Amino acid sequence: MPRASVVHMTSTATRPQHMSQSRRGKIGAIVCETCERENRIDSKPLGSSNGGRAKLPVLEPVGRCVWPIDRCTGFNRGQAYGSAFSVTQQEASWVASLSMLGAWFGAMIGDWVMRRGRRLALRVTSLPLAVVWILTGIAPCVELVYVTSFIGGLCCSVITMVAQVYISEISMPGIRGCLSAMLKVLGHVGVLLSYIAGTYLNWRQSALLVAIAPSMLFLGTLFIPETPSYLVLNGKDDEAANSLQWLRGDHVDIRHELQVIKTNILASRAKQYELTFKNSVFTPRLYKPIAITCGLMFFQRFSGANAFNYYAVIIFRQTLGGMNPHGATIAIGFVQLLASLLSGFLIDIVGRLPLLIASTVFMSLALAGFGSYAYYMSQTQNLGYPDSAVVGQHDWIPLLCVLVFTTALALGISPISWLLIGELFPLEYRGLGSSISTSFSYFCAFVGIKLFMDFQQTLGLHGAFWFYAAVAVCGLCFVVCCVPETKGKQLDEMNPDYAQAR
């Protein structure tokens, strides 16, 4: 059995981002900063002379986790708070993947929870999430981390779904796109901060620190109103008017906007009454968008994104000869953040399809290049390379491959896959279709994270990334053949296209 690693978790909650001086901007910031936190796990080799660190993944309900398994002296399990406990490689992979399994269940129940109220849903998930992080920080054994990982993934999945709906329902059309895009951007901010914090904080300190974020979300929901759309949907017109007036300000005439909300909800109800199970399941207006969005999610999750996000340090330890792997991960997080900011501008200028094609092309090239370099490194190590300094001279090759892959992912398939969920589904199927696609995405993430260590042991690190490159090439073919362009089209324009074969 391989020597165990001591679980060391770090996590990130992005700082509140005040997008405007208005109250609606403040609300969006409160929700965004909590729902898009990125969680990380870190492992610190014990009993080693240099006191170095490696990384391990654990809770990453809505974002990306990054980190590997290193060898260290094992400690007994079940010790008190403040002491360490050891995990095997398989246990570590379960810790990493169970958060996504929880997120899968969260996506399935998210719509049901949201129907009880958007604000209530945020309250009943944010407080348990804070408790989960506290329990993680004082966990005496890996079994408790299993439980907190699963529950944390479930809570963050629901928070993410509800936050997206809450922001869209309270924001004015002119800022709705910006506020929605901030969810993804703040997620990448969380990635970057987690890389930085993971270098300095131990896992218990990080877990206790990040518990502050969901606590802030819970407190924030005590001061914000329910969305006007939800109140109108439930026949509470007076409360809806008060909520909308609070959001827009005391001196704004809300009568026209409130009437538009009522009209849209009545039209949506009329379509819902016409639906039956048979015509819902077998209509191309539902199953074709499901096929497209689920296909994109599959190729995104199985093209190496989870491997880099969860196991970055262990991957770099095997490929970087002289470069600090922690510095490399920080560089990745920074580039990912910049790419996500750039994607917000390019999506509407260049179009969805060109970005998807370019994204999958560069992803496949970068993955193939990284796999080839990993193969070169394994061969030189087997031959007993005489000078490690010479090997370190080529560190720029794998780092460049990872940076290209990260940029391509953040510019194309990662944001556009989620964007198309909102664009391709007709209004009457949007809730059901979004739930199916989101659940499928989290399930693929769970499988991909869990199997990475098995892929590495079976195929080698180089074989695993060659496999990811092949998946990216298949994703390119899928994009060219199946994904429609939605740039510049109104939702009502694109929805009828699915009544006929493309």
pLDDT in tens, 156-194: 888 888 887 888 788 877 676 567 667 777 777 877 877
Q: Phi/psi at 480 (nearest 5 deg)?
A: -65, -40
Measured CA distances, 49 to 75, 156, 201, 310, 338 (Å): 16, 38, 19, 26, 37
DSSP secondary structure letter of residue 211: T
Q: Which amino acid is at 72?
A: C
Q: Would you state the pLDDT for residue 31?
A: 41
Distance between CA 225 and CA 223 in Å, rounded?
Answer: 7
Distance between CA 153 and CA 103 in Å, rounded?
Answer: 4
Q: Would you state the pLDDT for residue 1?
A: 37
Distant-in-sequence, close-in-space partners of 359: CB < 8 Å, separation ≥ 6: 408, 409, 411, 412, 413, 416
Q: Helix/strand/coil (H, E, C) string of 241-301?
A: HHHHHHHHCCCCCCHHHHHHHHHHHHHHHHHHHHCCHHHHHCCHHHHHHHHHHHHHHHHHH
Q: Helix/strand/coil (H, E, C) string of 328-361?
A: HHHHHHHHHHHHHHHHHHHHHHHCHHHHHHHHHH
Distance between CA 5 and CA 55 in Å, rounded?
Answer: 9
Domain boundaries 85-224, corresponding CATH code:
1.20.1250.20
Q: Would you state the pLDDT for residue 502?
A: 42
Distance between CA 192 and CA 329 in Å, rounded?
Answer: 8
Q: Specify the 3-state DSSP secondary structure of 499.
A: helix
Q: Which amino acid is at 389?
A: A
Which stretches of the chain drop beneath a pLDDT of 50?
A: 1-82, 386, 490-493, 496, 498-502
Q: Phi/psi at 204 (nearest 5 deg)?
A: -70, -45
Q: Are strands 54-56 and 5-12 parallel, antiparallel or unpaired?
A: unpaired
Q: Would you state the pLDDT for residue 339?
A: 86
Locus of tokens 């981390």? 145
Please write down the long-range contacts of 457-462, taking CB distance under 8 Å and 24 or more positions apart.
460/374, 460/375, 460/378, 461/315, 461/318, 461/319, 461/371, 461/374, 461/378, 462/371, 462/372, 462/374, 462/375, 462/378
Both tokens assigned to 170 = 């309270």
DSSP secondary structure letter of residue 305: I
Q: Would you state the pLDDT for residue 272?
A: 59
DSSP secondary structure letter of residue 76: -
Locus of tokens 């309270």? 170
DSSP secondary structure letter of residue 495: G
Both tokens assigned to 123 = 């309250």
Distant-in-sequence, close-in-space partners of 289: CB < 8 Å, separation ≥ 6: 420, 424, 425, 429, 433, 498
Question: For 96-138, what is each residue's pLDDT tens digit?
Answer: 788 888 988 888 888 788 888 889 999 999 999 999 999 988 9
Distance between CA 267 and CA 255 in Å, rounded?
Answer: 19
CATH number 1.20.1250.20 given to 280-501: yes
Q: Which amino acid is at 178?
A: C
Closest CA relative to residue 30, chosen from 202, 162, 194: 162
Distant-in-sequence, close-in-space partners of 238: CB < 8 Å, separation ≥ 6: none
Distance between CA 100 and CA 446 in Å, rounded?
Answer: 5
Q: Where in the chain are the domains? A: 85-224, 280-501
Q: Would you state the pLDDT for residue 178?
A: 66
Q: Specify the 3-state DSSP secondary structure of 19.
A: coil
Distant-in-sequence, close-in-space partners of 121: CB < 8 Å, separation ≥ 6: 110, 113, 114, 158, 162
Q: Would you state the pLDDT for residue 314?
A: 72
DSSP secondary structure letter of residue 253: -
Distance between CA 414 and CA 406 in Å, rounded?
Answer: 10
Q: Would you state the pLDDT for residue 59?
A: 31
Total residues belonging to the chain: 502
Distance between CA 298 and CA 445 in Å, rounded?
Answer: 9
Check: CB of residue 73 under 8 Å from CB of residue 46.
yes
Q: Would you state the pLDDT for residue 326?
A: 67
Both tokens assigned to 437 = 């696609």
Q: Specify the 3-state DSSP secondary structure of 370.
A: helix
Closest CA relative to residue 392, chosen from 313, 315, 319: 319
Do the two domains 85-224 and 280-501 of this chain adopt the same fold? yes
Q: Specify the 3-state DSSP secondary structure of 134.
A: helix
